[in-house]
Amino acid sequence: MAALTMQFEGEKKNVSEVADVTLKQEDEQQERRSYSTPFREERDTFGPIQVPSDKLWGAQTQRSLQNFEIGGDRERMPEPIVRAFGVLKKCAAKVNMEYGLDPMIGEAIMEAAQEVAEGKLNDHFPLVVWQTGSGTQSNMNANEVIANRAAEILGHKRGEKIVHPNDHVNRSQSSNDTFPTVMHIAAATEITSRLIPSLKNLHSSLESKSFEFKDIVKIGRTHTQDATPLTLGQEFGGYATQVEYGLNRVACTLPRIYQLAQGGTAVGTGLNTKKGFDVKIAAAVAEETNLPFVTAENKFEALAAHDACVETSGSLNTIATSLMKIANDIRFLGSGPRCGLGELSLPENEPGSSIMPGKVNPTQCEALTMVCAQVMGNHVAVTIGGSNGHFELNVFKPVIASALLHVH
């Protein structure tokens, strides 16, 4: 009897092991099928919708793709905005854990958001600028991508909602305060990391030429006619000072850009946030970016108006005006070589004509003047967008963000 019992238990154990292996294989096959099929089902308050299986976004992003087919890939939300979403959502999860968010979920959100901030998930942000004026779809795009990626980090499948895009990733937030916050994070980051260093390099070059040309006397011109003499160094000194003042102007706008709307939620009252959330998240963003972000002094202004962005764009418009003048002066002074002014020798970087051998054109100056024209046009868009802050919410946020960031 004992032998029979042992034999039966051994056979039962073998059957159980076989069953476990079979179930595991079936699970793996099911997982492979779920990613090999073209689509998976995601749901929102409107019901189910089919989403490409290889994409991390969810239902609301998919609906936006179908509703706003304007421009396609050429008109996508700027990458600095996407990266700023990663920074903000990471900081929000960090602060929300202090207020009771499950640490396991919070840590997964932070890890997924970091991937967004590093640009690793850019292919999962397909939405264009032309969408709702509050940027809600892009906020949900970030929420859905981070939620699904966090679910994967925790060992679950996309679409399972083990990490919820609204309840977890968007906790204590509204698109109405989130999008203006990422606008400011993106603008401040681009200005401090790219624009200001480039302008400093240009200023240094012009200042160096001013010293190099200090003993070269030339004719001055007013009304494009000959006037009294000056040195070429003095002329270039004027250019250098224009750039220096431009640097000062854009730097003076940063204190308003460093103010973040986060914590104002829907209309600026802070409904559905914990007390102190706004201060804590601004501090977290400041630590994450090494920039002196603070919570906005007045959340109603931060949601309803984008005067800080208009001001910053205005400083860039002034810089573009300066650079247009400088570039035109330099190319006219280099005109010739036989029948022009011929006072400057410009670098010969490439052939300038398909019909006249040996002709070389001031192409860098021409490119710069076209960039300046684009900046000026962008400022018009930012100005119009900023003037349309009706009641408690400006609904031109995406175009303001796109135009402001394009100028860099």
Segment 336-387, tens digit of pLDDT: 989 999 999 998 888 878 888 888 889 999 999 999 999 999 999 999 999 9
Q: Are strands 225-231 and 217-222 parallel, antiparallel or unpaired?
A: antiparallel
**Whole-model pTM over 0.85:** yes
**Residue 9 in this model has a pLDDT that exceeds 60:** no
Q: Indicate if the alpha-carbon torsion angle 119, 122, 125, 126 is positive or negative.
A: positive
Helices (H), 154-276: 175-190, 196-212, 232-257
What is the chain's percent helix, strand, coil content, to nearest 5? 60, 10, 30
pLDDT band at 33 (very low <50, low <70, confident <90, very high): very low
Catalytic residue among 168, 223, 322, 335: 223
Distances (CA, A) of 61 to 65, 116, 164, 271: 6, 16, 15, 25
Confidence of residue 251 (pLDDT cuts 50, 70, 90): very high
Give the bridge partners for 49, in sequence order.
Answer: 42
Cα 155–Cα 126–Cα 70 angle in degrees, nearest 5: 155
pLDDT of residue 292: 99
The confidence score (pLDDT) of residue 285 equals 99
What residue has token string 């002329």?
A: 235
H-type helices in 258-338, by residue range?
A: 277-289, 299-304, 307-333
- Dihedral sign, CA of 396, 398, 403, 405? positive
The superfamily (CATH) of domain 39-171 is Fumarase/aspartase (N-terminal domain) (1.10.275.10)
Contact 393, 378 (CB under 8 A): no
Judged against a pLDDT cut of 50, whether residue 407 lies above it is answered with no
Contact 406, 374 (CB under 8 A): yes
The pLDDT value given to residue 35: 54
The pLDDT value given to residue 354? 84
pLDDT in tens, 254-266: 999 999 999 999 9
Does residue 408 carry a pLDDT above 50? no
Tokens representing residue 101 in the block: 């968010």
> How many whole angstroms separate alpha carbon 393 and alpha carbon 376?
26
pLDDT at res. 348: 85
pLDDT value at 47 more than 80: yes
Give the distance from CA 390 to its chain's centroid.
25
Q: How many other CB atoms are there within 10 angstroms of residue 378's CB atom? A: 22
* % of the chain at pLDDT higher than 90: 85
Provide the pLDDT for residue 25. 53
Of the candidates 77, 39, 79, 42, the residue with the CA atom closest to the CA atom of residue 63? 42
Q: Of these residues, 34, 198, 345, 353, which one is catalytic?
A: 353
Distance separating alpha carbons of residues 320 and 376, to the nearest angstrom: 7
Residue 7 has pLDDT above 50, yes or no: no
Q: Specify whether 223 is catalytic.
A: yes
Q: Which token pair is 194? A: 């790219």
Query: Pairing relation of β-strands 393-394 and 47-52?
Result: unpaired
For the chain, the average pLDDT equals: 92
The 8-class DSSP code of residue 57 comes to: -
Class of domain 186-256+298-346+357-405: mainly alpha
Q: What is the mean pLDDT of residues 21-50?
A: 70
Q: Which two tokens stand for residue 341?
A: 């002014």
Q: What is the mean pLDDT of residues 96-108?
A: 98
HEC profile for 82-139?
Answer: HHHHHHHHHHHHHHHHHCCCCHHHHHHHHHHHHHHHCCCCHHHCCCECCCCCCCHHHH
Domain extents for the chain? 39-171, 186-256+298-346+357-405
The reported pLDDT for the residue numbered 20 is 53
